[in-house]
């Protein structure tokens, strides 16, 4: 009988404690994006600029119908990094973005762009994550080329 009274008392204590401090609610799993589905920006001459990206970098132009094939990028690392508003990394203070494209062979891509008239500055240093170069599209938007380290 003493055991039953003791058990009842312990049960009431735990029940009271549970009511005063309910268990934390389970938080739902965070839904995540799968990748970048598009990059949209202003241009003085959108048709000419889209053609330049297709002709010089292989970025397929956006199809004009839903049955057309859009540009598919290779799977790989994508860095999504906001920079401070006063960064000088994008060169011009009014420049709000900089594209970074992964390339298989930085030297080959730099030579190709130079043949097309672009100025390309290849960084002579190799970093732990690979090699880099800087160039610009015809409207002056900065483009960083990145050859990831194998």
Domains, the chain, with CATH or none = 96-150 (3.10.180.10)
Tell me what percent of the residues of the chain surpass a pLDDT of 70: 85
CA dist., res. 4 & res. 43, Å (int): 81
Report the pLDDT value the prediction gives residue 35, as an integer from 0 to 100. 87
The dihedral over CA atoms of 14, 16, 21, 22, expressed in degrees to the nearest 10, equals 80
pLDDT higher than 80, residue 94: yes
pLDDT higher than 70, residue 150: yes
Q: What is the mean pLDDT of the chain?
A: 87
How would residue 91 be classed by pLDDT, with cut points 50, 70 and 90? Answer: confident
Report the pLDDT value the prediction gives residue 6, as an integer from 0 to 100. 41
Residue 7 or 81, more confident: 81
Residue 146 or 6, more confident: 146
Contact 63, 69 (CB under 8 A): yes
Q: φ, ψ for residue 112 (rounded to 5)?
A: -60, -45
Total length of the chain: 150
Residue ranges of the alpha helices (H) in the chain? 2-20, 46-57, 106-115
Verdict on whether the full-model pTM lies above 0.85? no
Token pair belonging to 139: 């409207």
pLDDT higher than 80, residue 44: yes
How would residue 20 be classed by pLDDT, with cut points 50, 70 and 90? Answer: low
Q: Show the beta-strand stretches assigned E in the chain.
A: 99-102, 121-122, 130-136, 142-148
State mean pLDDT over 132-147.
97
| Displacement of CA 51 from its chain's centroid (Å) | 23
Of the candidate ranges 5-14, 55-64, 79-88, 103-112, the one whose mean pLDDT is the lowest = 5-14
State mean pLDDT over 25-36.
87
Token pair belonging to 133: 């170069």
């Amino acid at each position: 009988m003493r055991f039953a009274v003791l058990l009842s008392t312990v049960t009431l204590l735990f029940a009271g404690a549970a009511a005063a401090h309910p268990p934390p609610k389970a938080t739902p799993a965070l839904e995540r994006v799968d990748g970048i589905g598009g990059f949209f920006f202003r241009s003085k001459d959108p048709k000419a600029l889209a053609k330049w990206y297709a002709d010089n970098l292989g970025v397929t132009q956006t199809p004009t119908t839903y049955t057309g094939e859009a540009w598919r990028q290779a799977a790989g690392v994508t860095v999504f990094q906001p920079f401070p508003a006063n960064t000088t990394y994008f060169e011009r203070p009014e420049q709000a973005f900089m594209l970074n494209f992964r390339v298989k062979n930085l030297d080959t891509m730099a030579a190709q762009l130079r043949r097309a008239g672009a100025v390309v500055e290849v960084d002579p240093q190799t970093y732990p994550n690979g090699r880099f170069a800087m160039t610009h599209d015809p409207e002056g938007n900065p483009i960083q080329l990145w050859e990831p380290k194998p």
